[in-house]
Amino acid sequence: MELWVHGLPQDRTAGLETARRLGISHVVLGSNREAIDQAVEAGCSVYACTHAFGFRKEDPEHLLCLTITGERKAWFRSNCPSRPEVQERHLEKVRELAGIPGIKGVFIDGARFASPASGIETFLTCFCDACKSRAESLGFDFDRMRRDVAALYEGLRRSRGDAGREFSAGAPPSAVDLLRLAVLLPGIVDWFRFRALCTAEHIRQVRETLKSSNADLVLGMYVFTPCLSALVGQVYPLLAEHVDIFAPMIYRNGPPDSIAPLNSELARLWRDLSDVAGIEPGAAAAAVLSFVGLDGLLSEHTPEALAAALPPEVVRRETASARALLEGHIRLAPIIWLQDDEIERSARAVQSGGADGVSFFSFKEGAEALLERAVAALDR
């Protein structure tokens, strides 16, 4: 089984020695040439990582996403994915990284739209002029898309009392309820599909750019875990023809209010559902778990349990889901949170879920003991 780490401690020499001793041969770094050169010299398979749509302090406000409520918002330190200048800037970075001697490939992070952990108004993006033009070029009715997403948001706000009573009575939305919503508000389905097609098209351009610069390099991608990925525009089958290595971020126990970990993403969903629609917090937590298909994994359906951590079994289930969504020849190396008091079970869960490798985020000072525990737990 392939062993990966993202990052290195400040004492890179000691970190690389630890990696060598543990049999970790794959290292994902940023664009720091000194760090990359040192890892290559140490014999590691090194991959440079770049943030897809990151904003800079000098960027004009119009590059930001436009929410359904008409505000300009940043998400995950990112601009709107539909802005041509933002896309080209990222492709230029890919060209730059492709020229670094000795690397095996490039990893892409943040190639998506906003996630629930950014807050409901920011999640409900983007409706700017660039997205309008792009949507219409793809054959979407942009006005219907915007109208129906707005109707969803306003419907939640208007239903505060009724929704709260219904959920408290033990009637969270079923699959049939969601199907009915899709029929009544088809623009919501269009909105999710638009996000997915935009993401896949950018990754196609990234691959083309990478391969034209150096045909031997492989393309890796950090993606949301399967139960959340479609919400942010990362639909695995649409990405599979462009990506060589999938690294789902199956973080079961990330820090509070962080972006991408299952616990913090789902916790923000229940908070927003409770606040916007007036649903009792415990009922909202149960509804969120049901929505993503994880309700059977927690015996205690409370906001506190959801925000703290999900059990290691979720790592196995999400790894198996990713494996099922991808063709067999595509390398699957989920990345899991290293600061985990059950790191042994989490690492084994990736292995039993059918992955080709496991990656640990992040390798930094003080993480050596956890890394040793994780690697020792694996059947290699």
* pLDDT value for 165: 44
Please state the length of the chain: 380
* pLDDT value for 299: 76
* pLDDT value for 168: 43
C-alpha–C-alpha distance, residues 249 and 362, integer Å: 12
Contacts of 33 (CB under 8 A, 6+ apart): 100
The residues spanned by each domain of the chain are: 2-376
Mean pLDDT (the chain, rounded): 94
Contact between 259 and 117 under an 8 Å Cβ cutoff? The reply is yes
* pLDDT value for 201: 98
Contacts of 241 (CB under 8 A, 6+ apart): none
* pLDDT value for 302: 75
C-alpha–C-alpha distance, residues 74 and 46, integer Å: 30
C-alpha–C-alpha distance, residues 179 and 128, integer Å: 28
Counting as low any pLDDT under 50, the low residues of the chain are 161-169
pTM of the model: 0.95
Cα torsion for 323, 327, 331, 333, to the nearest 10°?
A: -20
End-to-end CA distance of the chain: 6
Contact between 335 and 6 under an 8 Å Cβ cutoff? The reply is yes
Secondary structure of the chain in HEC code, one letter for each residue: CEEEEECCCCCHHHHHHHHHHHCCCEEEECCCHHHHHHHHHCCCEEEEEEECCECCCCCCHHHCEECCCCCEECECCECCCCCHHHHHHHHHHHHHHHCCCCCCEEEEECCCCCCHHHCHHHHCCCCCHHHHHHHHHCCCCHHHHHHHHHHHHHHHHHCHHHHHHHHHCCCCCCHHHHHHHHHHCHHHHHHHHHHHHHHHHHHHHHHHHHHHHCCCCEEEEEEECHHHHHHHCCCHHHHCCCCCEEEEECCCCCCCCCCCCHHHHHHHHHHHHHHHHCCCHHHHHHHHHHHCCCHHHCCCCCHHHHHHCCCCHHHHHHHHHHHHHCCCCCEECCEEECCCCCHHHHHHHHHHCCCCEEEEECCCCCCHHHHHHHHHCCCC
Q: b/e string for 219-252 if b means 16 or more Cβ within 10 A? A: bbbbbbbbbbbbbbbbbbebbbebbbbbbbbbbb
C-alpha–C-alpha distance, residues 183 and 185, integer Å: 6
- Pair of tokens at residue 239: 């990405």
* pLDDT value for 175: 83
The type of residue at 60 is P
CATH of 2-376, picked from 3.40.50.9100, 3.30.300.90, 3.20.20.80, 3.40.640.10, is 3.20.20.80
| Interval 305-341: pLDDT, tens | 788 899 999 999 999 999 999 977 899 999 999 999 9
Residue 140: phi, psi to the nearest 5?
Answer: -85, 150
